[in-house]
Amino acid sequence: MRKMTRILLPVLILMLMAFAETPNKYFEISKNIEIFTNLYKELNLYYVDEVDPAKLMRIGVDAMLEHLDPYTNYFSENQIEGWRFMSEGRYEGLGAETKLIDNYLTITDLIDGAPAETSGLKIGDQIIKVDGRSTEGKNKVEVETMMRTVPSPEIKLEVVRIGQKKALPITLTRSEINDSNVPYHGMVADGIGYVILTTFTENAGKNVGDAIRDLKKENPELKGVILDLRNNGGGLLREAVSICNLFIPKDALVVTTRGKVQEWDREFKTTGVTVFPDLPVTVLANKMTASASEIVSGVLQDYDRGIIIGQRTYGKGLVQNTRDIGYNSQLKLTTAKYYIPSGRCIQSVAYQDGEPVDVPDDQRAAFKTRNGRKVLDGGGVTPDIKMDPVDVPDLIGQLEAQNMIFKYVNSYQQSHESIGDPQEFRFDDFEGFIQFLQTYGFVYHNPAYRKLDEAVAVMEKDRQSDYLPQLQQLQNELTQNNDAVFNADKEIILKTIASQIIARYYPEKDKILYKLRHDNEVKKAIEVLEDANGYQQILAGK
């Protein structure tokens, strides 16, 4: 009952908050909370099987929030580290990307300078024990929970390294990890700089500003800068304002928030003198550019201060605030919407399966930029220069899902002590990779084959065997076309393998540089910035 009291306390707090509502609404709220409390108590006391009160409550909370927008979320105590990383860019943990491979959590990437790297862990290491306890079959959350329960700041791990059979002891010293939100900046062409921002966590504005200052210091004749916001899911609003202030004047409106509680409505303006008032800017955006990233993109577009290149952004124009609801748990809830200087809201108006629905242009309201260019609301920021997205072939997805490329790179690393200059590196042993796949028994099944698998399963379950031979024959014919599929995707397979090989030998910036060499959107941004007259004509709407 003590546990039940702790869990029900937030419910009672909600009842007290309800006094602020109108009498009729208060009655509905208090009535339904009382019903919910009584139901929850009866289940815990009298249900025939033992139930987990916390799990039961979590299911109820998730079901309730599912009927709201996808950004209103509950974070339990076990999820707080992930929430801290999303909001602040720092957390305690390994400092590594991991994946469950061959029944053990495996290191797939490392953060420079984080505990995992400094302790001696390497990509490909499989964590088989934590403080003497086996991790077999345990996923990332379960292994991290095991680490958190170790009372000492030092965690003793046992890992199996590529090419070794004997377990290797590793002592990991727990510490706070600060993941850099600007992992790379540099020159990508004569006079053209490049800065990538991965998330709007603490000091994002300062870090972007410092990166551009470095570029200008090293290249006084800097012609322009590419700000890469692709796959940037946003973060802190104040950092979006700070980045806008690098390019637009003091006291310029950046964003207005308006919601249910009018007293919380606010205007956010730039507060400092513009750092780079005349520096030409292009912003790279895609469908995963969201929230604060969309504010920066939209603001620069509204003021005709930069050119957006890529695909329409995600369409998240909602303000979230976090509320402490006790016992180290947090509720992140939507309280308002963002409106950028032209008056438009970038929020998508509808969702399907938690994702924004693409709204046709003719159903979106029109607004004007400072120079009179037409821009639209209700579904993200439309680029000034649209480019088709680079689709990841289904074959690559299947290779990654079955860890074939990862395992091949493990094998490659065993037989190659070094690879030379990462920016001159080329991987072209396509036949060797195909032989490796054959050794591991990998067979590519395209989407049509997998759909037929579903049909075969249904027929076998319903004992309808008449058509099974024909379906299986068709599957065999589809499999016989695999050579053509591999040849069609050869170049992207080679580049994907090369990128992962480079990551084994060099820091993250070298992997980023390699990808930039093959990036058509970066090439387009360079072309735009090198044509000063064309750049100004686009901003003038000509």
> For the chain, which domains are there?
2-67 (no CATH), 90-178 (2.30.42.10), 184-389 (3.90.226.10), 394-446+481-521 (no CATH)
pLDDT at 78: 64
pLDDT at 82: 54
pLDDT at 361: 83
Catalytic residue among 242, 291, 342, 348: 291
Q: What 3-state DSSP class applies to 96? A: strand
* Confidence (pTM): 0.82
Catalytic residue among 228, 302, 384, 519: 302
| 302 catalytically annotated | yes
| 358 catalytically annotated | no
| 316 catalytically annotated | yes
Q: What does residue 360 show for φ and ψ, rounded to 5 degrees?
A: -60, 145
Nearest to 436 by CA among 408, 467, 464, 477: 408
pLDDT at 71: 77
What sign does the CA torsion over 44, 47, 49, 55 have? Answer: negative
Contact 1, 53 (CB under 8 A): no
DSSP state letter for 235: B
Within 307-419, strands assigned E span 307-310, 318-324, 330-339, 351-352, 355-356, 366-368, 374-376, 385-386
Nearest to 310 by CA among 184, 373, 226, 205: 226
Distance of CA 383 to the CA centre of its chain: 20
Return the C-alpha torsion angle 33, 39, 42, 46, nearest 10.
-160
Nearest to 301 by CA among 250, 357, 229, 244: 244
Residue 371 identity:
N
Catalytic residue among 129, 287, 316, 511: 316
pLDDT at 159: 97
Nearest to 183 by CA among 520, 523, 512, 514: 512
Q: What 3-state DSSP class applies to 244? A: helix
Q: What does residue 132 show for φ and ψ, rounded to 5 degrees?
A: 85, -5
Contact 301, 310 (CB under 8 A): no
pLDDT at 323: 81
* CA distance linking residue 99 with residue 170, whole number of Å: 19
pLDDT at 156: 94
Per-residue pLDDT tens digits of the chain, which is 542 residues long: 455 545 555 554 454 454 455 556 778 888 888 898 898 889 888 888 888 888 888 888 888 888 887 778 887 766 655 555 545 545 456 788 899 999 999 999 988 888 889 999 999 999 999 999 999 999 888 898 888 788 888 899 999 999 888 999 999 887 777 778 999 999 999 999 999 999 999 999 999 999 999 999 999 999 999 999 999 999 899 999 999 999 999 999 999 999 888 888 999 999 999 999 999 999 999 999 999 999 999 999 999 999 999 999 999 988 877 788 887 788 888 888 999 999 999 888 766 766 777 778 888 899 999 999 999 988 899 999 999 998 889 999 999 999 999 999 999 999 999 999 998 999 999 999 999 999 999 989 988 888 888 888 887 777 777 777 888 888 888 787 788 899 999 999 999 999 999 999 998 889 999 999 999 999 999 999 999 999 999 999 87
